Amino acid sequence: MTTEHHDVVVIGGGQAGLAAGYYLRRAKADYVILDAGTAPGGAWRHYWDSLHLFSPAEFSTLPGWWMPQQEGHPFPTRDHVVDYLAAYEKRYELPIRRPVTVHSVHRDGEHSLVRTDTGDHRARTVISATGTWRSPHTPDVPGRDLFRGRRLHTADYRNPDDFTGQHVVIVGGGNSAAQILAEISTVATTTWTTLRPPRFLPDHIDGRDLFHVATHAAANPGAPGVGDLGDIVMVPSVKEARERGVLVARPMFDRVTETGIAWDNGETLDVDAIIWATGFRAHLDHLAPLGLTGEDGRIAVDGTRAVEEPRLHLLGFGNWTGPASATIIGAARSAKAAIAQLVA
């Protein structure tokens, strides 16, 4: 296979990769976007069926083109977001190659060498926008692998149909856990367990307020009083679950048994399924040859640029690569700053 040469190689064609592509296009850079997916939409294609944004479309937009409103849905659905991302890459004729699996990134003199299943790419700069969806995290709870029932992660969940009439444990104290609990509890008995008591935002707060929090954080890095974006947003389904009395969390169990879960006080509970809504880790396996990942699973960055490898930028991995950078509008802001720094 031949080796292609570019100014910039972007790894990942989801929301962060598209935002980077927009600003690279505007800067007239020679670049390519390599996406492992078989179709547009990034991780959004794999979320559960009923997922909605926390905020109206105008608060979740990529640069240059606002997300269109969705008729009948003040908060856009998952499929609407996928359609928007697909239309966005066509609108700006972004040079996306898919499906391309990036195996590794290496130093190559003054350049970087990106090895893929379709050939090599040599670049002055690499932007890794691979996100977290491909690296679901399940905590190492004693006995976890002994359970004979159904085990799945948020990444595997689609809808409640397969759980009708069963007893399901949902593990995790974030938005995903609350929304999945709200949905499954309409057809099954549910038990919600969390490591610490879940924190619910007031009913009147939604993604618009979180947008302003992220804006404040971007303008005032490290400033006190910046809110926590991890609190549970009271979307309609979660409010309804509260009204039904099922939005009640129990302390995290101490171990998993063959038939369910158990606490050290002797209490046990037999269940049919356990859903781990316990988050994701940054997907950085392809960057392992660079030797940059710390014990916390992250790479030290100054803004979005890797401290020990200035030819590498990271986009869309969460607050450590920019305020709310795992959101659509947060990824757009981080991309704008990254490309400005890169061009300079």
Q: In terms of domains, do 125 and 7 share one?
A: yes
**Burial readout 315-324 (b: 16 or more C-beta within 10 A, e: otherwise):** bbbbeebbbb
pLDDT of residue 92: 97
Q: How far is CA 289 from CA 1, 146, 174, in A?
A: 21, 35, 33
Q: How does residue 56 score in pLDDT terms, banded at 50, 70 and 90?
A: confident
Query: Confidence class of residue 224 from pLDDT cuts 50, 70 and 90?
Result: very low
CA distance 277 to 180: 9
102-141 exposure pattern, b = at least 16 Cβ within 10 A, e = fewer? beebeeeeebbbbbbeeebbebbbbbbbbbbbbbbebeeb
**In terms of Cα–Cα distance, which of 262, 279, 280 is closest to 270?**
262
What pLDDT was estimated at residue 94?
Answer: 98
pLDDT tens digits, one per residue of 162-214: 999 999 999 999 999 999 999 999 999 999 999 999 999 888 776 565 555 55
Q: What is the dihedral of CA 122, 126, 127, 132, to 10 degrees?
A: 90
34 lies in the same domain as 90: yes
197 and 262 inside one domain: yes
CA distances from 328 to 53, 57, 317 (A): 10, 10, 11
d(CA 128, CA 162): 36
**pLDDT tens by residue, 288-340:** 999 999 988 899 999 999 999 999 999 999 888 888 788 898 899 999 999 99
What's the confidence (pLDDT) of residue 327?
Answer: 87
Distance of CA 38 to the CA centre of its chain: 18
What are 70-95's pLDDT values in tens digits? 888 888 999 999 999 999 999 999 99
For residue 207 the two structure tokens come to: 């993604």
Q: Which two tokens stand for residue 130?
A: 């691979």
According to the model, what pLDDT value does residue 297 have? Answer: 87
- pLDDT at residue number 148: 97
Based on the domain organization, do 130 and 75 belong to the same domain? Answer: yes
Contacts for 145 with CB less than 8 Å, ≥ 6 apart: none
Position 275 scores a pLDDT of 98
Among 219, 244, 276, identify where a domain stops. 276
Asked if 299 and 335 sit in the same domain, the reply is yes
Q: Check residue 101 and give its pLDDT.
A: 97
- Residue 25 within any structural domain of the chain: yes
Are 9 and 129 spatial neighbours (Cβ–Cβ below 8 Å)?
A: no
Please state at what angle helix 236-243 crosses helix 175-184, rounded to 10 degrees.
60
- What's the chain's average pLDDT? 91
Residue given tokens 């992660």 in the structure block: 153
**In this structure, what CATH number is given to the domain that contains residue 204?**
3.50.50.60
- Distance between CA atoms of 305 and 269, rounded to whole angstroms? 48
* Stronger pLDDT, 256 or 222, i.e. the higher one: 256
> Are 272 and 287 found together in one domain?
no
Report d(CA 111, CA 88) in Å as an integer. 30
Tally of domains in the chain: 2
Range of the domain at 151: 144-276
The domain boundary, picked from 254, 276, 298, lies at 276
36 contacts 62 by C-beta, under 8 angstroms: no
Name the strand (E) or helix (H) holding 5. strand 3-11
* Together in a domain, 202 and 310: no
Q: Is residue 139 one of the residues assigned to a domain?
A: no
Average pLDDT over residues 120-143: 95
Q: What is the pLDDT of residue 212?
A: 59
Q: What is the mean pLDDT of residues 131-159?
A: 95
Threshold 0.85, pTM exceeds:
yes
List pLDDT tens digits, range 233-258.
888 899 999 999 999 999 999 999 99
The residue out of 242, 261, 276 marking a domain boundary is 276
Phi, psi of 150 (to 5 degrees): -85, 130
Cis, peptide link before residue 99, omega less than 30° from 0: yes
Q: What tokens were used for 251?
A: 């302390």
Mean pLDDT of 86-115: 97
Q: Is the pLDDT of residue 220 over 90?
A: no
Q: Residues 48-53: contacts with CB within 8 Å, 24+ apart? A: 48/78, 48/154, 48/157, 48/158, 48/159, 48/180, 48/183, 49/78, 49/158, 49/159, 50/78, 50/159, 50/179, 50/183, 50/237, 51/77, 51/78, 51/179, 52/76, 52/77, 52/78, 52/235, 53/81, 53/207
In a shared domain, residues 61 and 119: yes
